[in-house]
Structure 1
Amino acid sequence: MKFGLTFFPVLAPSERSASDYFDDCLRLAEVADELGFEHVQTVEHYFSAYGGYSPDPVTLLAAVAARTTRIRVVTGAVVPAFTHPVKLAGKLAMLDNLAHGRLDVGFGRAFLPEEFAAFGVPMAESRSRFAENVEACRRLWAHEDVVWKGEFSSFGPVTMLPRTVQRPHPPIFVAATTSEDSCAAAGAAGHHLQVVPSVTSTEGLKAMLAAYRSARAAAGHAGPGRVQIKYTCYLDEDRGAALAAGRRWEANYIEKMSAAVASWAAPGAGGGDYPGYAALVDKVKAYDFDRALADNKVLAGTAADVTRQLDTVADWFGPDLSVSLQFNPGATALDRAEASVRLFAARVAPALAGR
């Protein structure tokens, strides 16, 4: 079991400026690098207080790469539907070079209607654009004189410069939310997987991971594949303080996410490529911190509490996990977030070293 940091900005300019938030992230990345964490990752979102401070993960991760020496930088995830594959492959190849081969590339489909509308991309094309552009990026990294004739773009022959440091290309991850089919497709393609346990049931996630691992093995790919799983973590020497922070910032998360997903309540939103998302608004509003904590969908408490939770997570989903932790949700003060990162490295990670 390995551990890293996730940066998902859930805050508005009235709560904290973007420059201050980025400064906090860079400081936490430096600390994580010193303490032996595996990775740092961030998201791609637009416009709203739900992730909108991070419209370009590559920019923040380039700054992280410049301030660290060992830790991996991870897109969690970039959205290939919103960027021409030649542009996206080039940006990520530059980042792999700036990081000296420390890049993991996570690709995601996106799910907010306003983002698709802004880019003029129909949500009904989400799945097909995703599959086409991921494969186009992979070929641009792995091959020279690439000729591409797809449904949404055509180019070539071209040879992408710079070439990626990692050959034939950086590790590719696919972000999945609830679909076993998406997980199986990622496994069959030999890609790795990013999942978020807060948006599906424990049994549902077990089934997703089983589908991924089975399809990967059936396709003959070497190794079990890498699975990144994301949690928000409220860690403190004082359990009461940790739970109070959890209630505060989880409520903030629900407030921001509720506003971001409100358009899903409209009839026909998303089309057939997003089955079940029409109920997303009600699901978000029904969130309960105590139930989420009991179900291990959020990590909170003392080092012993969080260690027990992650031990259970390993039992459920397998010990070969890379757990990506958000220690600075919302406008969390830097000193509190840094203290939690250091406490995790000192007390939680060593207790789970054998998993």
Structure 2
Amino acid sequence: MQLDLGVIDHLDRQDRPVHETYESRLELMKLYDRAGFSTFHLTEHHFTPLGLAPSPMVFLSAAASITQRIRLAPLVLILPLYHPLRLAGEICMLDQISKGRLDIGLGRGISPYELAYFNVNHLESAAIHREALEVVKMALTQPVVNFRGDYFKFFNVPMQLKPYQAGMPAMWYPTGVPDSAELAGSQGWHTCFLVPDERARLLAGRYRQGWDRRQAEHPGEPLPKIGITRFIYVAETDAEARRVGMEGYRVWYEKFGYLWSRFDPRPQAPFDPEQQMASGTLIFGSPATVRERIEQSVTATGANYFVTRFAYGNLTHAQSAASLQAFTEEVMPHFATAPQEPRP
């Protein structure tokens, strides 16, 4: 089975100095690039141990300087927290620095608590996102920006900087909502789902409905990436992989629920390893088991893109690197696609 493979990271806080986590992740970036992963994705979170990348563009700039092939795609930049013209300038800078390796994911943000810390009303975030997205697209593709909306107003702003790539960089719109998946398909945006296989199959189906409508107006356009995301840990045996991978995931899961547990008065269910494994979003095992599980998920969902995650929770650098090496040597060749050429 040929399959495009990517990597995602929350850059969550670990029980070690922050600079050591950054150093580890950048070393892993070199390995991702060398291994031939197509794209690296980075999330954005604020005021929570879930994310040490409140400015994904800063980390991706560092990553661009030490890699040659891998594409860089934030998933996502929380658009209501940015001034759209400033963000457009940063997108142009990073695309120039990386020589056209930047994709852009622009979302409204899923956490009302993170938005509230910035005095952004989550009930308005969708409207802010729509306006800001229009401004960013204009800034990246037109010589002058003129825009009048409820949240942003710009008159005759000259755009001196443009992306390295011709036209708009590729857009990403990850979602867990069927209507949003269909919207992404209709716009020709890449998408990605961190949900169990059954739900991912529903989302992929709705995406393709939107894509089919788009094909009527844009015949011959290649199908964008429809991705599923899974936590990965590879070891010699299934038992060892599950032991190490589950402990790393448990720590990540606690950080994932940090703000929700702080503000939501409803009691949180205790962490249940069996329930988490049953969700299908964790793939811990020997190389043979991991290969089989990936094939099963891709077949069950209709995805054409598989996004791995090797660094999470309190996994040490050595543990993440060992899992990655086993994946690179014994799993990736099974899904090999044509290697990407480094850009000049």
Q: What TM-score do the two structures reach when normalised by structure 2?
A: 0.90
Partner of 2:11: 9
DSSP-derived class of the 2:325 partner: helix
Partner of 2:188: 190
* Corresponding position: 1:219 with 2:221: no
Partner of 1:82: 81
Aligned-residue Cα RMSD (Å) equals 2.0
Using the alignment, how far apart are the partners of 2:44 and 2:160 within structure 1? 24
The match for 1:308 among 284, 292, 295 is: 292
Partner of 1:260: 259
Using the alignment, how far apart are the partners of 2:303 and 2:225 within structure 1? 11
Which deviates more from structure 2 when the two are superposed, residues 184-193 or residues 59-68?
184-193
Asked whether the 8 Å contact 2:200–2:228 carries over to 1, the reply is no
Partner of 1:48: 48
Using the alignment, how far apart are the partners of 2:186 and 2:88 within structure 1? 22
Deviation at 1:163?
Answer: 0.6
Using the alignment, how far apart are the partners of 2:291 and 2:82 within structure 1? 40
Asked whether the 8 Å contact 2:204–2:303 carries over to 1, the reply is no
Aligned length: 332
Q: What TM-score do the two structures reach when normalised by structure 1?
A: 0.88
Using the alignment, how far apart are the partners of 1:287 and 1:310 within structure 2? 24
DSSP-derived class of the 2:192 partner: strand
Partner of 1:334: 317
Runs ≥4 in structure 1, deviation > 6 angstroms? none
DSSP-derived class of the 2:20 partner: helix
Partner of 2:160: 161
Deviation at 1:233?
Answer: 0.8
> 1:112-131, aligned counterparts within 5 Å?
112-131=111-130
Residues 287 and 166 of structure 1, relative CA distance in 2, 3 Å threshold: farther
Deviation at 1:40?
Answer: 1.5
Deviation at 1:286?
Answer: 5.7
Partner of 2:30: 30
Deviation at 1:57?
Answer: 0.5
Deviations 1:236-255 (A, max 9, x none): 12322211112212221222
Partner of 1:203: 198
Using the alignment, how far apart are the partners of 1:286 and 1:181 within structure 2? 31
Residues 166 and 287 of structure 1, relative CA distance in 2, 3 Å threshold: farther
Partner of 1:231: 230
Deviation at 1:204?
Answer: 2.5
Using the alignment, how far apart are the partners of 2:12 and 2:279 within structure 1? 22
DSSP-derived class of the 1:5 partner: strand
Residues 287 and 110 of structure 1, relative CA distance in 2, 3 Å threshold: farther
Using the alignment, how far apart are the partners of 1:317 and 1:173 within structure 2? 19
Deviation at 1:319?
Answer: 4.9
Asked whether the 8 Å contact 1:50–1:260 carries over to 2, the reply is no
Asked whether the 8 Å contact 1:233–1:327 carries over to 2, the reply is yes
Unaligned runs of 5+ in 2: 338-344
Asked whether the 8 Å contact 2:227–2:303 carries over to 1, the reply is no
Matched residue type, 2:188: G
Matched residue type, 1:214: Q
Residues 231 and 166 of structure 1, relative CA distance in 2, 3 Å threshold: same
> 1:113-152, aligned counterparts within 5 Å?
113-152=112-151
Asked whether the 8 Å contact 1:108–1:176 carries over to 2, the reply is no
Unaligned runs of 5+ in 1: 267-278
DSSP-derived class of the 1:129 partner: helix
Deviation at 1:188?
Answer: 1.7
Using the alignment, how far apart are the partners of 1:154 and 1:217 within structure 2? 35
